[in-house]
Amino acid sequence: MNKTENYPVATANLLIAQKNAILASIIANSDDTIISKTLNGIITSWNPAAERMFGYCEAEALGRHISLIIPEERLDEEVFIISQIRQGKKVDHFETVRKAKDGRLVPISLSVSPITNRDGIIVGASKIARDISERKRADEKQAVLAAIVATSDDAIISKTLKGIITSWNKAATQMFGYTEAEALGRHISLIIPHDRLPEEDHIISAIVKGNKINHFHTFRQAKDGHLVPLSLSISPIIDTEGKVVGASKIARDISEQQLLQAEKARLYEQVRILNDKKDEFIGLASHELRTPLTSISGYLQILGRMISNEKGQQFLAKTRLQVKKLGALVDDLLDVSKIEAGKLPLSTEAFDIRKVVDDTLELLSYSNTQFKFTLHTTISELIISGDSHRIEQVIINLLSNAIRYAPGTDRVELFLAHDAENMTIGIKDFGVGIAADKLKDIFSRFYRIDDVNPVTSGLGIGLYLSHEIISRHGGKIWVESELGKGSTFWFSLPLHPAHPLQISN
């Protein structure tokens, strides 16, 4: 029964008019294209969205055949749609393409319903068309991405933040031996060797913060147990609200060789950083030690004037000697840190090397009375150019070593000679000597041959400093030695340096 039959005819007509007005307004304002047509395909209504979609205005479309917007090769579709409508059937979400006025093809999703007249006879069809270009584009993009993932030579795996595998491509199957079905839903630890499980925590903590991990070299374990050397790149998966919801990782098979090389480079870099830190520490520590040492020496001098008894003076002399030794060590350390920083200062002046040798010998004979020092030379004066204090430091280092590494002996011999270009100094002891395989390291920083001379303390700095000083003067330093028989340390300096002294590195 018609609902309007309960109302007076005028009211019923009013209600129908209102309903029609509402429908007309909905249709006019709809974002979807709404078109109606007769069963012969003649367009009977055309809303503004249809105009926006196809470019024809209402006046251009009304009364025209619907083939106006159907591409030629799709005209059959209309036959099918109309046959459905004639049977009173709806056509839902039919995805197709229509043609706009300017020839542009518009991908749409069509829903077509029969229109019946008051007597229930089907007289036409109304169709709602929704533009699906955006979705189509997204679908296409997705398909391209899926194809890339499927055909990639790299294993591409995605997982949730809890480590549950959510995608697994063909290359992952080839690399690890698990099929997609075996891997999906499993925890990523499936392919992580036991001793490398902590890596996963580091990875996830970086991913949660939204950070990427690039070219992380590691091993993963295949189904048959063999270890696969890999370069991993892992990126966060971010949802539409910008929240990190998982991680996608690309694993590239690398050769073991490459992996070892990468690990070596990483370790080398770590060692380099630690080495820099150590140098920095040595520099700071020696500076810090220098300050109190200077005040101790000052106070010892004051004490020296205040103490009158002999015993007290003896103790004071011993203390002074130890403070002096400590001072020399700290100075050596400071020099090392200056060399490392490229800031060891050298002065340059003309000086008599014979006099420097004599002065040094006198100084050392004074505190090493049990040793006989013999100087073999024909030179009474030889003026050379350089930093006399630093050259003296080298001679003292070599002479002290000749004494320290020759326990139980009582003589040291010195040689001073020159030719047209160089002067040479040799310092020969009869002590423990140096094994042939150790000679190449002897001038390295902090190098000591502890097994041969465990009782002689030292820092392995003296020869390193000496080498640096002599090299900076354009000279050479070397050693001849035989284990158990003794050593001769030599150095030569150019008489007429070709280049000015390298004042700083």
Give the footprint of ligand ADP on this chain (CB under 6 A). Answer: 397, 401-402, 405, 429, 431-434, 442, 447-449, 453, 458-464, 487
Shortest approach of ligand ADP to residue 434 CB, angstroms?
5
Q: Measured between alpha carbons, how far is 481 from 490 in angstroms, rounded to an integer?
A: 11
Angle between helices 388-404 and 353-367 (to 10 degrees): 40
| Of residues 201 and 450, the one with the C-beta less far from ligand ADP | 450
Q: Using CA atoms of 431, 436, 440, 443 in order, give the dihedral in degrees to the nearest 10.
A: 0
Shortest approach of ligand ADP to residue 388 CB, angstroms?
21
Q: Measured between alpha carbons, how far is 423 from 69 in angstroms, rounded to an integer?
A: 104
Q: Measured between alpha carbons, how far is 327 from 323 in angstroms, rounded to an integer?
A: 6
User: How buried is residue 458: exposed, middle or buried, by Cβ count under 10 Å (0-12/13-18/19+)?
Assistant: middle
Give the residue from 374, 495, 466 showing the smallest Cα distance to 428: 374
Shortest approach of ligand ADP to residue 376 CB, angstroms?
18
- 3-state DSSP helix/strand/coil percent for the chain, to nearest 5? 45, 25, 30
Shortest approach of ligand ADP to residue 310 CB, angstroms?
34
Shortest approach of ligand ADP to residue 210 CB, angstroms?
52
Give the residue from 359, 347, 468, 492 showing the smallest Cα distance to 418: 492
| Of residues 69 and 463, the one with the C-beta less far from ligand ADP | 463
| Of residues 245 and 459, the one with the C-beta less far from ligand ADP | 459
Shortest approach of ligand ADP to residue 445 CB, angstroms?
9
| Of residues 175 and 344, the one with the C-beta less far from ligand ADP | 344
Shortest approach of ligand ADP to residue 451 CB, angstroms?
9
Give the residue from 502, 473, 325 showing the smallest Cα distance to 396: 325
| Tokens encoding 398 | 């070599």
Q: Measured between alpha carbons, how far is 94 from 125 in angstroms, rounded to an integer?
A: 14
What does the DSSP 8-state code read for residue 211? -
| Of residues 103 and 454, the one with the C-beta less far from ligand ADP | 454
Q: Measured between alpha carbons, how far is 245 from 266 in angstroms, rounded to an integer?
A: 31
| Of residues 66 and 402, the one with the C-beta less far from ligand ADP | 402
| Of residues 234 and 442, the one with the C-beta less far from ligand ADP | 442
Residue nearest to ligand ADP (CB): 458
Q: What letter represents residue 233's amino acid?
A: S
Shortest approach of ligand ADP to residue 488 CB, angstroms?
9
| Of residues 162 and 440, the one with the C-beta less far from ligand ADP | 440
